[in-house]
Amino acid sequence: MDLNRRQFLVKTSSSLVAGWALANGLRPSSAAAEEVNSIPFATPVFLMKYPQSVTDFRPVVNSTATTVIFERTIGSSTKLYSLDLTSPSAKPVLFAKGLSAQSFRPDWSWQTGEVVFMNTTNGVYLASASGAYSLITGTVGMSYPTWYPDGATLAVYNNQPKAGEPVPRTSKMDLSGKVLQDVLANNNVWAGFASVNQTSPNLIAFAGQVVIPKGTYNQNMNYIWLTDTSTTPPTVRTLAPGAPTNHFDPNYQGRAPWYSPDGKWIIFESNRFNSKGLYSIFIQIADGSSTAVRVTDPRWDAQHAKFYPSGTELVVTVLQKFGGTKRGIAKLDVSKFVS
């Protein structure tokens, strides 16, 4: 029987991952059951020259993959910068010039070309591709804005207190700040960073955890969850069917999910199976019917992955060098993992 590349990786890697996990002090039975280790890993290609004294996070590219916007931390200040990807000699330039407050967590609408971002003081901002910006009223306590495919609505991580509803939760809002749906998951789950399926916008992936009465949300104890808002109430489940919801199992930990442009795959970051807590990027089929595949060497501590428009490349933040502390922005070719 002929095997495609993905089937080959699953068959040949399942035994390797158990040994790899054992060598790192992890539970081989859980590791072998839930994950396969991709051979070889995708190699980061940096989008600018490193090392630098700065650290760069949370990149996102536009619909033509000609510009990337990302967070840059210099000293104690973090602001958004943009980089022209069409010119090898281009240097990053400040995005949203004139904004005195720090700026974080951008997302780019591939439909309208507009950008949303946030800061912890004022809430969510709407900006043109050139960086002209305005604050969306009523969004204090909201963060991680991400676009719906209509280019007119957002999913947001919502920390605004509201009686009877979890904090945090994921909400849907329009560009005037009006909340259209307050709870996109349900009241039993703390819902964080979300990604909307761009071909089926009723489907939303998010990082979250079961609400613990009198407890607090801890992003390091997240799983990847799916919610389907086409049902009443929304259908909510973990991406990995085996993830236990009555307690946290670190072998299923995951954060920052993101759908592929065609809605068929989900990428996320996880430190599962790494005794040092370093993160890797994983790819999983979007319905969770097959196991996730690790696509980066954990020594890169890769995080904050998003797809290029091609659907076969990712933009990520990785350590500028193994064992370092400064981070850079890189591209990953993942075509062999999504075919």
CB-based contacts of 303, cutoff 8 Å, min separation 6: 57, 255, 256, 269, 279, 281, 316, 317, 318
Whole-number pLDDT of residue 29? 39
> pLDDT per residue over 172-223, tens digit each?
999 999 999 999 999 999 999 999 999 999 999 999 999 998 889 999 999 9
Structure tokens at 337: 């993992």
Whole-number pLDDT of residue 38? 58
Per-residue buried b or exposed e for 46-67, using 16+ beta carbons within 10 Å of the residue's own CB: ebbebeeebbbbbbbbbbeeeb
Within a 10 A sphere around the Cβ of 324, how many other Cβ atoms? Answer: 14
**64 vs 20, 199, 331, 336, CA distance in Å?**
39, 18, 15, 22
All structural domains of the chain, each given as residue ranges with its CATH number in brackets, are 1-39 (no CATH), 46-337 (2.120.10.30)
Q: Is 87 exposed, middle or buried (0-12, 13-18, 19+ CB in 10 A)?
A: exposed
Task: Say whether pLDDT at 25 is over 80.
Answer: no
Task: Say whether pLDDT at 17 is over 90.
Answer: no
Task: Say whether pLDDT at 24 is over 60.
Answer: no
Q: How confident is the model at residue 162 (pLDDT cuts 50, 70, 90)?
A: very high
